[in-house]
Amino acid sequence: MDQITAFSQSIEQSLQFMQELEKLLLQETEILASRHIDRLQSILTEKQLLIERLEQETTQQKHWVESANHAFTPAGIELFFHALDPSNDLSNRWSTLRATIDRCNRLNESNGRLIERGRKRVAMSLRLLSGDDGQSTTYDPYGRKTSPTHQSRTISRA
The answer to whether residue 147 is domain-embedded is no
Q: How many whole angstroms from its chain centre is CA 133?
A: 32
The answer to whether residue 12 is domain-embedded is yes
**d(C-alpha 157, C-alpha 149), whole Å:** 14
The answer to whether residue 139 is domain-embedded is no
pTM reported for the whole predicted model: 0.73
CATH of the domain at 97: 1.20.58.300
In the chain, how many domains are there?
1
Q: Is 136 exposed, middle or buried (0-12, 13-18, 19+ CB in 10 A)?
A: exposed
Give the confidence band of 134 by pLDDT, cuts at 50, 70, 90. Answer: low
The answer to whether residue 96 is domain-embedded is yes
The answer to whether residue 142 is domain-embedded is no
For residue 81, give its domain range. Answer: 3-134
Percent with pLDDT over 90 in the chain: 47
